[in-house]
Amino acid sequence: MYSEKVMDHFQNPRNVGEIENASGVGTVGNAKCGDIMRMYIDVDDNGVITECKFKTFGCGAAVATSSMATELVKGKTIQEALQITNKAVMEALDGLPPVKVHCSLLAEEAIHAALWDYAEKHNIVIEGLEKPVNDISEHEEEEEY
Ligand code: FES
């Protein structure tokens, strides 16, 4: 039911953890399944995302999609990262079962939430970026899960 890549990223997730004093941190949650994803990004002076880490409290597909999302985001410019859709994440994982598509949406939203936080902290507007509807960053600032 799951591709080899999904299983690989689930069993050996890349870039798990936190970034201290990250340029941007965003947390999103899916109210239906209760899964939570937090993404950290570091952005250099040229607007390139040099580092990206995540913590996910969620299903296997959520872990795999966030892992793949961090891999796709690293080394990209902000505008390029903004173009990474859940579809791109799914394609990079060789697909997901239909009932798991929402997990990849959470990964896309986590990227947007981290970018949103980065923009707010640096007082800039990222063209084309909207605050994700499932952004729950404010509700659990320092809370651990
Ligand atoms: Fe909700 Fe996977 S079941 S993110």
Higher local confidence (pLDDT), 87 or 139:
87
User: Which pLDDT does position 72 carry in this prediction?
Assistant: 98
Give tens-digit pLDDT for 24-38. Answer: 999 999 999 999 999
Fold designation for 4-121: Sufe protein. Chain: A (3.90.1010)
Tokens coding 92: 């990079």
Name the one residue in this structure whose structure tokens are 């410019």: 77
What is the rounded CA–CA span in Å between residue 4 and residue 22? Answer: 32
Asked if residue 144 has pLDDT above 70, the reply is no
Distance 72 CA to ligand 1 centre (A): 20
Q: What is the mean pLDDT of the chain?
A: 95
What is the rounded CA–CA span in Å between residue 66 and residue 99? Answer: 17
User: Which pLDDT does position 138 carry in this prediction?
Assistant: 84
Residues with catalytic function: 33, 103
Asked if residue 131 has pLDDT above 90, the reply is yes
Is-contact 96 1, C-beta < 8 A?
no
**Average confidence (pLDDT) over 71-100:** 98
Distance 62 CA to ligand 1 centre (A): 6
Asked if residue 140 has pLDDT above 70, the reply is no
User: Which pLDDT does position 143 carry in this prediction?
Assistant: 53
Cα atoms found within 13 Å of the Cα of residue 89, Cβ hemisphere only: 31
Instruction: Name the amino acid, one letter, at 92.
Output: A
Asked if residue 100 has pLDDT above 90, the reply is yes
Is-contact 110 88, C-beta < 8 A?
no
Residue nearest to atom 1 of ligand 1 (CA): 33
Q: How much of the chain exceeds pLDDT 70, in percent?
A: 95
The predicted model scores a pTM of 0.94
Residue ranges of domains in the chain: 4-121
